[in-house]
Structure 1
Amino acid sequence: MSDTLWTLLLATVTAVVAALAVGLFVTPRMEARRTRLGEVHTARDTFGANMMRIISACSLLQKIELPPDDEPDWTPVMRERLAGERNRWLEQLDDATRWLIDNVVTYAGSWPMRRLIRFAVDYAGNARMVVLSEREEAAKVELLLALTVPVQRQFFGWLWSRARHHHADHRAFAETIARISGEPTAL
């Protein structure tokens, strides 16, 4: 009977020591890892949301223009309201590109392939510089759309869409970067 008690006591001590070791060493590391991964996924989601915000604001700015001053159907109040909306959309572009550049380390560094990291970093930097440039509003909107659409598809498009458009998206992005670099961007 003493052998049975000794075995039970040894099993209990082993279980307690193992539970303490897991609780003291393994669980905190797993919690920290879960937190880091959660932050990375949140940053990726926000990266995608900001790109969609840029696409949406640019599309609205292209489609909804201020009417000419001599347009009789538009009252001064409606002109002012529409101008306010357009300014709000421009602020959204500023806010979105500011977030992209401020958080590029978090979301870009989370992808395993170097080319994806470089793609995200190049996109964030160029998008922010377009917004900060002295280009006309229409040129900024056109360039932001040309930058954002291929990047958004490569990071968040369906797998078949990413594969199908891979070369075209990278070529379009490179051509847009060349257009940006070729134009004066006085700040």
Structure 2
Amino acid sequence: MPNTLWTLLVAAGTAVVTTIATGLLVTPRLDARKKRIGEAHAARDTFSTHLMTVLWACTLLQQLPADDPDWTPVLRERLKGERERWLQQIDDATRWMFDHTPAYAGSWPARQLIDFAVAYATNARMLVLSEREEATKLELLFALTTPVQRQFFTFWWTRAHHYSADRRTFAETLARLAPEPTPAS
């Protein structure tokens, strides 16, 4: 009987020490890691939402003419307000993506994906801030956003299927964004 009691006391003591040590040393690190991972995934989700906002607003703005002679003055004014709202959505989305790049881009494991996200956010924001005509901005922004959205937020088989084409399209759009060299005088 004393052997059994001693064994139970040692087992209970070991369990208490292990529980306390785990609670003091391991659990806080796991909780902090869980929080960081959750924040990274939330930032990725927000990035995805902003990409879709840009794509949707570009599509709406490209399909809706800026003016139509058949519109009444009231309709013209209302649609002008809608166009301004959609342009503001694009501005807000690109601002968020640019400002929060470290939160979502740094969460991907491959350097290539990080560079892709950073290049997109930077170039999309600079495009929105540029002095290009609205139609050109929308065309370029749509062309820039589509491959990024597909490479980050579609099914893996879609990403794999379109990988080369998306990278090529993105590079070609970046080349179109580059300012033309001015001739030397």
Structure 1 and Structure 2 fold alike (TM over 0.5): yes
What interval of TM-score do these two structures reach, taking the shorter chain for normalisation?
A: over 0.9
Query: Secondary structure at 2:178's aligned position in 1?
Result: helix
Deviations 1:23-64 (A, max 9, x none): 111111111111111001111111111100000000000001
Is the counterpart of residue 21 in structure 1 residue 21 in structure 2? Answer: yes
Is the counterpart of residue 137 in structure 1 residue 102 in structure 2? Answer: no
2:95 to 94, 98, 109: 98
Separation (CA, whole Å) in 2 of partners of 1:167 and 1:11: 60
- Structure 1 stretches of 4+ with a deviation exceeding 4 A read none
Is the counterpart of residue 176 in structure 1 residue 160 in structure 2? Answer: no
5+ residue gaps in structure 2? none
Q: TM-score, normalised by structure 2?
A: 0.94
Separation (CA, whole Å) in 2 of partners of 1:77 and 1:138: 24
Separation (CA, whole Å) in 2 of partners of 1:160 and 1:28: 38
Q: TM-score, normalised by structure 1?
A: 0.93
5+ residue gaps in structure 1? none
The corresponding residue for 1:9 is 9
Deviations 1:122-158 (A, max 9, x none): 0000000000001111111011001000111111122
Percent identical pairs in the alignment equals 63
The corresponding residue for 1:30 is 30
Separation (CA, whole Å) in 2 of partners of 1:182 and 1:154: 26
C-alpha deviation, 1:66, in angstroms: 2.6
TM-align CA RMSD: 1.2
Is the counterpart of residue 152 in structure 1 residue 153 in structure 2? Answer: no
Separation (CA, whole Å) in 2 of partners of 1:141 and 1:165: 22
1:162 to 159, 162, 166: 159
1:124 to 118, 121, 124: 121
- The number of residues matched between the two structures is 181
The corresponding residue for 2:46 is 46
Separation (CA, whole Å) in 2 of partners of 1:183 and 1:115: 27
